[in-house]
């Protein structure tokens, strides 16, 4: 379908999806990532001769990113703050990165962004304006202290900007702080200038607000300097644009939306109310860069009854009934993605069991403990014990569950070692006796200088198996030809990526569950994913058939899994119950090695498959992750 749309007067793009000026356009690495989806338009990082730098982190100069949660603990937004030399480019950096962008994006519209209040004549002469299709005047700091008396200065500033960049299409990026002045009529002279040169506006919506400690994830403190972004901003973005379009004096000024747009239904809503283009940033943080390809596909599907996107937009705006029908179809398109995942996994449930069983077999054949004595039934005189069940490792999960059951120990489920560390640091009310963790996880804890309540630090008893890591992807591409590797967070994952980089040197990107669906749907043959089986092998089921049948391991490594006990337990009981736990683990492994498929079915029945499905569909949980 032809998705071509006029994003600015006289300037068309191949679709309405634009990449906002942000960390996604701030470096060569970021630009190379964006190039994978060939965006319709991309606005480079904002230029400032006064405050700009090279955009890189350095000693004493970093960008803080913190997750913001609601009272249920769900991540609802992200706080971000960085020094101006990181958030803004100087002229030299802009010149270098602009030339690079022109080479990387031959078919994309490229936008220059300039901070308000700069020496526009100096900047326009220092840069090659032939590299750009449009220029953005960024009001990022102009209205942080909104004063009516400053309006004449802003009017003169915009006039100078338009004069210095006359050869480019003009767009003014309205900050949240400028919106009240806009609706009050104070900025009417400025809007008349924009309208006169057939310019456009970006209604950008990020909040500069204070965040209380209770809503900050990890090391809580009040956050006061940066901005808060996230999907929750979409409602306000929509409302601002609705109000803007209802003011007759602004009719004819095209609007670009920016703020909280993360799905196809929101895009349909914005197109219905007159938006020309949609800038993406939060959506990419949430779902990864491949979301651009997914949104294009979904937009084509929703508008499939029309020859072109422009025809579909006219249909949307013809009546409210048309809009409602299209919005419903857009929501269905999103649910279809969920259904396709569940269908793919259910249709191949036999393969899932086989993969899970094979993984258990591989990991449990290594370091098989020799039972010092036969397992005995739990005695009433035995103390009450707690066995941590680590769902982050399939073998640890199964062996811990079986040992706990035989010992009569209570179980405490954790998602992974990160949860364990959090509980160790919080300390209050947390007690345990046994757990099974990988060597790299325990090494990480050994290096961590965090204060841990006495008695909680884990003590290694013995190896019980192995934790396997794999680089998976399209097996038609050898490992040495892999250009980009995705990996998860966590101490074991970081240790595995370090080991992999001794073999190959690809670009690496940390990923979260909510980014997996678009990643697999639009998988690149020269990319790889570093993950643990069985999930690493099951992920291939979510790729297109052309990749799925060739999905497999390209590189592998393993490390020991250890049974550990708490310092408190060792001090109170020595190794008596640890030895008994090892006997139960040996018994469980003996049964597993005899019938690994039965063990796999046992694990699935305990909820392991549901946990995996939840990870794949994590986008519905809105878990904002680092880019």
State the average pLDDT over residues 332-344: 77
Dihedral sign, Cα of residue 591, residue 595, residue 601, residue 603: positive
Kindly state whether residue 76 falls inside one of the protein's structural domains.
no
Tens digit of each residue's pLDDT (9 = 90 or more) over 280-308? 998 898 888 999 999 999 999 999 999 99
In whole angstroms, give the CA distance from residue 492 to residue 441: 6
The reply to whether 161 and 270 lie within a common domain is yes
pLDDT of residue 310: 96
- Is the peptide bond preceding residue 553 cis, with omega within 30 degrees of 0? no
Asked if pLDDT for residue 150 goes beyond 80, the answer is no
How sure is the predictor about 494, in pLDDT bands with cuts at 50, 70 and 90? very high
The reply to whether 329 and 190 lie within a common domain is yes
How sure is the predictor about 142, in pLDDT bands with cuts at 50, 70 and 90? confident
In whole angstroms, give the CA distance from residue 567 to residue 572: 9
Local structure of 57: helix, strand or coil: coil
Residue-averaged pLDDT of the chain = 88
| Token pair 């004096």: residue | 249
Tens digit of each residue's pLDDT (9 = 90 or more) over 526-570? 999 999 999 999 999 889 888 999 999 999 999 999 999 999 999
In whole angstroms, give the CA distance from residue 163 to residue 290: 38
| Token pair 């701030």: residue | 26
pLDDT of residue 127: 97
The reply to whether 419 and 462 lie within a common domain is yes
CA distances from 285 to 248, 292, 388, 392, 582 (A): 36, 12, 32, 23, 44
In whole angstroms, give the CA distance from residue 466 to residue 481: 28
The fraction of the chain above a pLDDT of 90, given in percent, is: 62
CA distances from 591 to 366, 368, 404, 549 (A): 15, 12, 16, 32
Q: Which residues pair with 558 in a beta bridge?
A: 468
Kindly state whether residue 436 falls inside one of the protein's structural domains.
yes
Residue 404: which of 571, 588, 569, 593 has the closest Cα?
588
Tokens of 437: 């963790």
Tokens of 133: 């299709």
Number of Cβ within a 10 Å radius of residue 368: 15
DSSP secondary structure code for residue 167 in this structure: T
Looking at 220-348, list the stretches that DSSP marks H as alpha helix, in order from N- to C-terminal side. Answer: 234-246, 264-272, 282-287, 291-302, 309-318, 320-347
| Residue bearing the bigger pLDDT, 209 or 371 | 209
Q: Pairing state of beta strands 507-510 and 484-487?
A: parallel
Tens digit of each residue's pLDDT (9 = 90 or more) over 215-269? 888 778 898 888 888 888 999 999 999 999 988 888 889 999 999 999 999 999 9
The reply to whether 148 and 252 lie within a common domain is yes
The reply to whether 486 and 550 lie within a common domain is yes
The reply to whether 172 and 313 lie within a common domain is yes
Residue 110: which of 51, 231, 25 has the closest Cα?
25
pLDDT of residue 355: 92
Give the least confident one: 22-26, 145-149, 261-265, 508-512: 145-149
pLDDT of residue 45: 96
Asked if pLDDT for residue 145 goes beyond 90, the answer is no
The reply to whether 389 and 334 lie within a common domain is no
- Residue 499 belongs to what domain range? 343-349+468-557
Kindly state whether residue 64 falls inside one of the protein's structural domains.
no
Residue that finishes a domain, picked among 325, 341, 357:
341
The reply to whether 245 and 299 lie within a common domain is yes
The reply to whether 412 and 455 lie within a common domain is yes
Residue 320: φ, ψ to 5°: -65, -35
The reply to whether 387 and 462 lie within a common domain is yes
Asked if pLDDT for residue 625 goes beyond 80, the answer is no
Q: Which residues contact 361 (CB under 8 A, 6 or more apart)?
A: 592, 593, 596
In whole angstroms, give the CA distance from residue 313 to residue 328: 15
The reply to whether 155 and 301 lie within a common domain is yes
How sure is the predictor about 621, in pLDDT bands with cuts at 50, 70 and 90? very low
Asked if pLDDT for residue 341 goes beyond 90, the answer is no
The rounded Cα 455 to chain-centroid distance in angstroms is: 36
Kindly state whether residue 66 falls inside one of the protein's structural domains.
no
């Amino acid at each position: 379908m032809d998705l071509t749309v006029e994003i600015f007067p006289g300037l068309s793009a191949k679709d309405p999806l634009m990449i906002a000026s942000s960390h996604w356009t701030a470096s060569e690495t970021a630009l190379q990532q964006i190039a994978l989806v060939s965006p319709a338009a991309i606005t480079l990082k904002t230029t400032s001769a006064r405050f700009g730098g090279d955009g890189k982190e350095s000693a004493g100069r970093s960008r803080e990113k913190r997750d913001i949660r609601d009272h249920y603990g769900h991540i609802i937004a992200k706080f971000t703050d960085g020094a101006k030399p990181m958030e803004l480019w100087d002229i030299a950096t802009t010149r270098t990165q602009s030339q690079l962008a022109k080479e990387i994006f031959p078919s994309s519209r490229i936008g220059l962004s300039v901070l308000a209040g700069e020496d526009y004549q100096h900047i326009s002469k220092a840069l090659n304006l032939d590299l750009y299709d449009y220029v953005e005047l960024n009001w990022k700091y102009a209205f942080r202290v909104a004063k009516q008396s400053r309006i004449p200065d802003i009017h003169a500033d915009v006039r100078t900007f338009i004069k210095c960049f006359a050869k480019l299409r003009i767009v003014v990026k309205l900050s949240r702080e400028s919106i009240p002045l806009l609706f009050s009529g104070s900025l009417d002279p400025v809007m008349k200038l924009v309208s006169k040169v057939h310019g456009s506006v970006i209604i950008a919506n990020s909040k500069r607000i204070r965040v209380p400690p209770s809503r900050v994830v990890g090391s809580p403190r009040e956050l006061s300097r940066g901005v808060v972004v996230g999907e929750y901003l979409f409602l306000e973005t929509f409302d601002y644009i609705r109000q803007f379009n209802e003011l007759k004096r602004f009719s004819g000024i095209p609007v670009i939306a920016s703020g909280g747009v993360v799905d196809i239904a929101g895009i349909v809503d914005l197109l219905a109310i007159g938006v020309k283009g949609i800038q993406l940033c939060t959506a990419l943080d949430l779902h990864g860069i491949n979301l651009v390809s997914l949104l294009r596909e979904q937009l084509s599907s929703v508008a499939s009854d029309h020859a072109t996107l422009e025809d579909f937009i006219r249909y949307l705006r013809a009546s409210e009934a048309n809009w409602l029908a299209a919005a419903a179809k857009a929501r269905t398109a999103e649910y279809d993605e969920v259904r396709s995942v569940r269908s793919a996994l259910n249709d191949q449930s036999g393969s899932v069991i086989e993969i899970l069983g094979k993984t258990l077999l591989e990991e449990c054949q290594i370091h098989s403990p020799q039972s010092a004595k036969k397992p005995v039934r739990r005695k009433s005189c035995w103390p009450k014990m707690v066995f941590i069940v680590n769902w982050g490792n399939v073998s640890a999960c199964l062996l811990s569950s079986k040992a706990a059951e035989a010992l009569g120990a209570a179980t405490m489920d954790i998602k992974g070692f990160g949860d364990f560390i959090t509980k160790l640091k919080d300390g209050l009310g947390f007690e345990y006796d046994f757990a099974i963790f990988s060597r790299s996880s325990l090494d990480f804890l050994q290096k961590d200088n965090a204060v841990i309540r006495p008695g909680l630090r884990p003590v290694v008893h013995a190896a019980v198996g192995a934790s396997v890591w794999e680089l998976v992807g399209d097996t038609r591409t050898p490992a040495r030809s892999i250009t980009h590797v995705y990996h998860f967070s966590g101490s074991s994952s970081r240790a595995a990526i370090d080991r992999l980089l001794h073999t190959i040197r690809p670009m690496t990107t940390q990923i979260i569950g909510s980014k997996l669906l678009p990643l697999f749907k639009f998988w690149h043959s020269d990319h790889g994913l570093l993950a643990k089986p069985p999930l690493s092998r099951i992920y291939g089921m979510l790729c297109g058939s052309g990749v799925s049948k060739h999905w497999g391991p390209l590189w592998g490594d393993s490390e020991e899994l250890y049974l550990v006990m708490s310092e408190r337990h060792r001090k109170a009981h020595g190794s008596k119950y640890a030895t008994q736990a090892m006997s139960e683990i040996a018994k469980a492994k003996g049964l597993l090695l005899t019938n690994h498929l039965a063990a796999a079915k046992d694990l699935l029945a305990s909820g392991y498959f549901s946990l995996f499905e939840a990870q794949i569909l994590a986008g519905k949980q809105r878990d904002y992750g680092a880019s």
